[in-house]
Homo-oligomer: A and B are copies of this chain.
Amino acid sequence: MEKVVESQNLGFETGLPQSELDCCFGTRKPYRLVSREYQKESSVIRVRGVEFGPGRFVVMAGPCAVESRDQTLRIARAVKEAGAHVLRGGAYKPRSSPYSFRGLGLEGLKILREASLETGLPLITEAIDLECLPSVCEYADIVQIGARNMQNFALLEAAGKLRKPVMIKRAFSATIDEWLAAAEYIMQGGNEQVLLCERGLRSYDPNTRNLLDISAVPVVEELSHLPVVVDPSHSTGKRTLVAPVSKASLAAGARAILVDVHDRPDEALVDGAQALLPSELKDLVESLRKIASAMEVTLK
């Protein structure tokens, strides 16, 4: 059974009496609305014809950061041509150091929107704070909340008032319960359209940038009705690992991947080492399509 949540679909009421909430905490879980107990059927998030949910697999791809109009349009066309379903790209970049490139901001959003319209691909892009959230919501089809903001509760509550899908990334060392509780903040605000993105945990091995928790995919599938996305680019940090990890994500039951692509990775301002070439994305989509078919999953 599924419950389809249209992107245009407006809100719902959480207004449960406190007693019912308490009762729910017989499970000792810090969340309720995101749980399988609350909603048995899996949620399907539908965005401009693309669906995230059981039996589908969505490829979201694009540049980590918008660097220029030319670069963005070029890459957007290439990922469309390679078979991607959603365009990703960062206009606002959260950066550990204040001296790093922080993105083109509103100018970047406009470029992304142009690329989205030209290619027909829905757009996912990150909102890094309350200030940029309204603009991001205006230009994007899916609003991304990054790992560093997973417990930025003010931002989560604001995202709960949006009427657009929100994808929330798991923080570097968050437990699965904390991640689901973060999603609960959004759902509690009235926004049912939530995607959960696993992007790797902090770890100690220098061979990868982070440590992808592949088991989190079926764990969340058991605990929650919300779709799980995997980011194979930020988790591995290395181009050659993106394809095998993407296939693993599909096989483990993820509903989508979020992939960095750049046609000139050596010139990329951000994270070039992990970006696929468009031709590599094309090969990857081809491989994914075969595996998806064997799993009776639709990858258009």
Interface residues, chain A, CB within 8 Å of chain B? 21, 25, 30-32, 94-100, 128-131, 148-149, 151-154, 171-178, 181-182, 184-185, 188, 201-208, 211-219, 221-223, 235-236, 240-241, 244-245, 247-253, 287, 290-291, 293-295
Complex Cα distance, B96 from A174, in Å, reads 10
A178 to chain B, nearest CB (A): 5
Nearest-neighbour CB distance to chain B for A146, whole angstroms, equals 9
How many identical subunits does the complex contain?
4
Pick from B30, B154, B174, B252: contact of A247, CB under 8 Å: B252
Given contacts A215-B208, A294-B293, contact A181 B245 (CB under 8 A): no
Instruction: Report the separation of the CA atoms of residues A175 and B211 in the bound assembly, to the nearest whole angstrom.
Output: 12
Q: 5 additional contacts, CB 8 Å, given A148-B151, A211-B213?
A: A94-B153, A96-B151, A207-B216, A208-B215, A217-B244
**A294 proximity list for chain B (CB < 8 A):** 290-291, 293-294
Q: A251 near B241 (CB under 8 angstroms)?
A: no
Decide if B215 touches A99 in the complex (CB within 8 Å): no
Closest approach, in angstroms, between the C-beta of A38 and any C-beta of chain B? 13
Residues of B close to A249: CB separation below 8 A: 248
- Could you say which residues of chain B place their CB within 8 Å of the CB of A151? 94, 96, 148-149
> Quick one: closest B residue to A146, CB to CB?
B151
Residue contact B175 to A154, C-beta cutoff 8 Å: no
Minimum CB–CB distance for A187 against chain B, Å: 9
